[in-house]
C-alpha cells in the first residue's frame, strides 16, 4: 500500500498579519493600537477640562498622558538635567517633566494679527515666553501646565485657532504656501481646499485612529515651498491640457529612519474633488496601513509595497467610485530657495516681506513686536513657512523701507546671510524626550561662527540640525544634515555630536544625503567642519553647480 503524499505546503507559514483593518486584522497588535481601540484620542479633551485641569498632573491617567494627549497637541517635555546618554535607557516616567509642549496648528501657515497676538499672550501668560516656529508652519509653546490648558483652548478657539489633532495618529496640520492668493506666478491658490479639508475632517472620528501620523501639503506655489516630495499626501498645482488649473497627487513621502520620496499617482484632480481624494487617500491609510509595528506604520511603506499604479486603482475603485483623468507632472521649481525670505512683489502692487528668525526661535514679546510692526505698516496678515521663517503680507511700496528697518532692528533679518537663512533646527534636548543632543543653541552658535569666518559666502547651503534619528528637521534632504548622537572627542570622552549627511536635495534631482564612512563631528568641532567643507565647495564647484551636485562627485577627503 502506497504512502499518501504529504501536502506540498505542510511547512508553509501563513504570512503574519500587519494589522490591516481592510484585511480583517482588527485586534490590536501593540500597546498603541490597544490604547486607541480602548478609547478614541479625541475623547481626552473632556477629561482634560473636567478632571485633569482640576486635579493637576498627578491625576492624569498614564494612557492619556503619553498617548491620547497628543490628539490635542500636548507632549510631556523632558525633565531638565537628564543627559542624552539616558534618553533610550530611562522609562518615560523618569524622563517626563510635569510641564507640556503645546503645538498650535496653523493650517496653511495663515495668521491674522489677532491670532498672532493671542499666541503671544498665551506664551507670556502660560509658557514662560517660549515660542518656536516649526518646519510644519506650527508654533510650539513650552512650560505649559495642565491646569492652564482649558483657558488656552478658550483663547485660541475664540480667534479661530486650535490644537486639535496637532499631534497623534491623526491628520496633522495641512501645509500651504504662505503666498497663496497673492503670488502673481502661482499655478492655483490652494487655500479653499485647505479650509475645506480642515472643516470637514479635522476632529472627525472617521480619521482619528490612523496607523500613525499623517502629513498633508496643498499648494500651487511655483517654488514648491511645501516640500511635497516628503509628505504622506500632497496636492501640487498643475495646468492640464485643456488649460484648467488643478492638482497633481503625490503619496508616500516621509523621512525618519527609512526615508522615501513620494510617488506621483499620475491623476489630475479638480479643485472641487480635492477633499474627496484626500479622504480617499487617508481612508486607504486607515484601512490598509500597517499597524503591527510602529516603525512601519506610515503610508510610505504601503505605497512602496503596492506601487503608485495599484494605489491609484484602489483609490478609484474602493474609495472614490469614479476614475480620475491622467494629468501632467508639476513644472520644475522656479527657485533654488523655497523659503520666501526677502522683499518681493505681490500681484496687487503691494509687497510681501519674508524674514528669518534664528532657527525658528522666538518668544512672546517678539511675536507681539512682529504684529505691531506689521500693523504700523498697514498689514493685517502674517504667514509662517516650512523653513521656520515668517512673512508679512500686503506692505505698500512706500512702507517697504521702513518695515525692513524695523524688522532688522528686532534681529528679524530680511536680508540674512546664507547661514542665517538656511539653517534649521528641531526642538532638541532642551525640551524633547527623545533627543540626544542640544540643537537650537548649537545651530545658533554655528550661524554666528560661520558668518564671522565666511562673511562673503553667498551660495545656497541648507544646514539642518536634528537632535535624534527621527529627522524632524529633515536632515536627509539637506545639503548638510546633522543627526545628533553621542560621539567620542579627542580625549575619548563621550560628548554631544553629529553624524553628517551630505548632499541631500529635493526638487529637480531629489536625493538623500550621502553618509561618508566614519564622518562625525562633536558639537564643538562643527564650525571648523562646516567651514572646511564650504571652502572646498567654493574652490571646486563648476559654474552653476549646486552643493548637492558637487558632493556626488567630490573626493571623500574633501568632505571630511
Residue 394: φ, ψ to 5°: 65, 40
User: Chain-wide mean pLDDT for the chain?
Assistant: 95
Tell me, what DSSP letter sits at residue 356?
B
Using DSSP bridges, classify how beta strands 381-384 and 110-112 pair: parallel, antiparallel or unpaired: antiparallel
Residue 193, burial from CB neighbour count under 10 angstroms (0-12, 13-18, 19+): buried
Q: How far apart are the first and last CA of the chain?
A: 75
How many Å is the maximal CA-CA distance in the chain?
Answer: 104
pLDDT 10s digits, 245-302: 999 999 999 998 899 999 999 999 999 999 999 999 999 999 999 999 999 999 999 9
Question: Which tens digits make up the pLDDT trace of 492-524?
Answer: 999 999 999 999 999 878 999 998 888 999 999
- CA dist 119 and 127 (Å) reads 10
Percent of the chain at pLDDT > 70 equals 97
Residue 134 in contact with residue 40, Cβ under 8 Å?
A: no
The DSSP letter of residue 326 is B
Q: What angle do CA 409, 123, 386 make, to 5 degrees?
A: 65
- Nearest Cα to Cα of residue 250 among 179, 300, 209: 300
Instruction: Answer whether residue 223 shows pLDDT above 70.
Output: yes
Q: How does pLDDT run across 145-157, given as a tens digit for each residue?
A: 999 999 999 999 9
What would the mean pLDDT of 414-421 be, rounded to a whole number? 98
Q: Are strands 423-425 and 463-466 parallel, antiparallel or unpaired?
A: parallel
- Report CA-CA distances (Å) from 466 to 143, 189, 324, 419, 484: 21, 32, 39, 16, 6
* Residue among 467, 169, 477 nearest 298 (CA): 169
Whether the CB-CB separation of 426 and 439 falls below 8 Å is answered with: yes
Query: What sign does the dihedral 507-512-514-515 (CA atoms) show?
Result: positive
CB 478 within 8 A of CB 462: yes
Whether 201 contacts 216, CB under 8 Å: no
- Taking only the tens place, the pLDDT of each residue in 54-94 is 999 999 999 999 999 999 999 999 999 999 999 989 999 99
Say if residues 410 and 427 touch (Cβ distance below 8 Å). no
Distance of CA 558 to the CA centre of its chain: 31
User: Residue 335 above 80 pLDDT?
Assistant: no
Instruction: Name the DSSP class of 288.
Output: H
Would you state the pLDDT for residue 15? 59
Distance of CA 534 to the CA centre of its chain: 26
* pLDDT score for 7: 46
The pLDDT value given to residue 482? 98
17: confidence class by pLDDT, cuts 50, 70, 90: confident
Amino acid at each position: 500500500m502506497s504512502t499518501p503524499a504529504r501536502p506540498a505546503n505542510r511547512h508553509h507559514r501563513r504570512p503574519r498579519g500587519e494589522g490591516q483593518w481592510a484585511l480583517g486584522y482588527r485586534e490590536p497588535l501593540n500597546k498603541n493600537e490597544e490604547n486607541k481601540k480602548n478609547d478614541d484620542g479625541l475623547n481626552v479633551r473632556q477629561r482634560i477640562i473636567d478632571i485633569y485641569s482640576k486635579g493637576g498632573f498627578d491625576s492624569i491617567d498614564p494612557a492619556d498622558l503619553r498617548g491620547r494627549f497628543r490628539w490635542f497637541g500636548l507632549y510631556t517635555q523632558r525633565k531638565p538635567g537628564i543627559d542624552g546618554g539616558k534618553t533610550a535607557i530611562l522609562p518615560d516616567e523618569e524622563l517626563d517633566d510635569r510641564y507640556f509642549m503645546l503645538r498650535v496648528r496653523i493650517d496653511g501657515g495663515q495668521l491674522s494679527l489677532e491670532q498672532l497676538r493671542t499666541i503671544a499672550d498665551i506664551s507670556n501668560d502660560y509658557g514662560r515666553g517660549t515660542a518656536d516656529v516649526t518646519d510644519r508652519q506650527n508654533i510650539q509653546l513650552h512650560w505649559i501646565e495642565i491646569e492652564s490648558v482649558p483657558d488656552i483652548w478658550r483663547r485660541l478657539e475664540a480667534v479661530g485657532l486650535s490644537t486639535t489633532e496637532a499631534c497623534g495618529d491623526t491628520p496633522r496640520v495641512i501645509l500651504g504656501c504662505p503666498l497663496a492668493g497673492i503670488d502673481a506666478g502661482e499655478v492655483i491658490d490652494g487655500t479653499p481646499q485647505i479650509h475645506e479639508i480642515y472643516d470637514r475632517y479635522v476632529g472627525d472620528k472617521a480619521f482619528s485612529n490612523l496607523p500613525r501620523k499623517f502629513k498633508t501639503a496643498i499648494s500651487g506655489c511655483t517654488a514648491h515651498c511645501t516640500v511635497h516630495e516628503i509628505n504622506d499626501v500632497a496636492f501640487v498645482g498643475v495646468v492640464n491640457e485643456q488649460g484648467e488649473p488643478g492638482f497633481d497627487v503625490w503619496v508616500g513621502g516621509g523621512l525618519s529612519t527609512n526615508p522615501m520620496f513620494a510617488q506621483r499617482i499620475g491623476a489630475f484632480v479638480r479643485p472641487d474633488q480635492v477633499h474627496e481624494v484626500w479622504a480617499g487617500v487617508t481612508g486607504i491609510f486607515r484601512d490598509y496601513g500597517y499597524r503591527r509595528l510602529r516603525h512601519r506604520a506610515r503610508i510610505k511603506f504601503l505605497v512602496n509595497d503596492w506601487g503608485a499604479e495599484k494605489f491609484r486603482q484602489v483609490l478609484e475603485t474602493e474609495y472614490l467610485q469614479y476614475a480620475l483623468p491622467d494629468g501632467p507632472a508639476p513644472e520644475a521649481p522656479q527657485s533654488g530657495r523655497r523659503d520666501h525670505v526677502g522683499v518681493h512683489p505681490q500681484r496687487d502692487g503691494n509687497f510681501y516681506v519674508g524674514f528669518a528668525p534664528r532657527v525658528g526661535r522666538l518668544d512672546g514679546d517678539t511675536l507681539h513686536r512682529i504684529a505691531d510692526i506689521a500693523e504700523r505698516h498697514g498689514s493685517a496678515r502674517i504667514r509662517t513657512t516650512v523653513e521656520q521663517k515668517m512673512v508679512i503680507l500686503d506692505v505698500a511700496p512706500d512702507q517697504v523701507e521702513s518695515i525692513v528697518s524695523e524688522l532688522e532692528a528686532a534681529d528679524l533679518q530680511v536680508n540674512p546671510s546664507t547661514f542665517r537663512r538656511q539653517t534649521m533646527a528641531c526642538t532638541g534636548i532642551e525640551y524633547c524626550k527623545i533627543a540626544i543632543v542640544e540643537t537650537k543653541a548649537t545651530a545658533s552658535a554655528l550661524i554666528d561662527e560661520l558668518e564671522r569666518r565666511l562673511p562673503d559666502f553667498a551660495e545656497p547651503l541648507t544646514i539642518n540640525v536634528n537632535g535624534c534619528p527621527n529627522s524632524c528637521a529633515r536632515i536627509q534632504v539637506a545639503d548638510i544634515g546633522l543627526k545628533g548622537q553621542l560621539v567620542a572627542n579627542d580625549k575619548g570622552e563621550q560628548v554631544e555630536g553629529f553624524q553628517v549627511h551630505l548632499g541631500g536635495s529635493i526638487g529637480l534631482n531629489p536625493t538623500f544625503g550621502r553618509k561618508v564612512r566614519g564622518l562625525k563631528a562633536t558639537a564643538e568641532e562643527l564650525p571648523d567642519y562646516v567651514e572646511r567643507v564650504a571652502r572646498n565647495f567654493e574652490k571646486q564647484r563648476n559654474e552653476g553647480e549646486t552643493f548637492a551636485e558637487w558632493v556626488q562627485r567630490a573626493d571623500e577627503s574633501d568632505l571630511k
